[in-house]
Structure 1
């Protein structure tokens, strides 16, 4: 998926299929309740930023859950990859905006959000890029930052290797997912690379969270 010359049709199918995979295994419904809702303003109105939004499935889910729980939330999903934003914009419900942008561009523009989140971004970044990404997150969030990623383990790799062929036909879902698990972090590894003020938390299923409270 990171290859700019990859098959665009397979990439579009991958964005759509990952929405199914994430709904099943990302654990974001629980993270919404335990980590996002407590950080929202008492007024019930909030802005949430989804960094590296990909095909936009998390941004759409956040607005849906917020509405069910009585919050008036505006979610902005950004991604520097124009292909991801083109895919995300194929379905843009009320309350969601997708932009082709980087976190640094939003910092430079002086934008602020109550909560900043990301899904499966950290393991794609080398050390300098990750440090900049985390620093930008701190600047953009007025309440909490929550970056969720895969918690690397043999069990996670084996489970994904067995289950992913069921949804992987014609996509990069299997190869990208297995590569992502190999690149991801254990909880101690993530804690070691986080700056001061951040904490790494274990979450189910096979998840690790990077959390910072403003």
Structure 2
């Protein structure tokens, strides 16, 4: 456990000290929620609190996944490019522990940026809404339970993929993720409309899907071998 926390701490500090990644995360955390929230507020016909709750349920999950991807790319792929992953592979630690430590550190940074984006969204909505907004209490469950799962699941799956794939394949992985991200934005909007708000059913759905993704990433990481990773670096 102590070794796991050491790896997690290293990855978290490295993530928040990377100026390029942090700038990109800040821009996305501000730009995306502001413009989508403006669109939701313009088309509201019912209770603004219900609409904003449904909007945040969709938006925050997508953001958590994107932030997990953004920070995990620096933690996993960068270390393969510059060769520093070899230091981990030579250490007396299993690949599963390396993966788990990195995922914990990366998901902490990703979750923090997602929370910032949610706060910005709420602030924009309150400032621009002509009427008072009362957010549903179920949103607290979403923010403190569901979002950490998705930040960790995204970092875990992307991290395992980047360790498994070769250098050229990793470049296509990034482009593929962008298309997946766009699909998720529109797909979740169709599945859960802002007017319907956030419900227990949607939270159960989000929770189950997030846990499945997290387990997929963990199982994939468990099938990795140090020899496989070394071969993909060449």
TM-score normalised by L of structure 1? 0.34
Q: Which structure has the larger Rg over C-alpha atoms?
A: 2
TM-score normalised by L of structure 2? 0.31
**Structure possessing the higher relative contact order (Cα contacts under 8 Å, 6 or more residues apart):** 2
- Which structure shows the bigger proportion of residues in helix conformation? 2
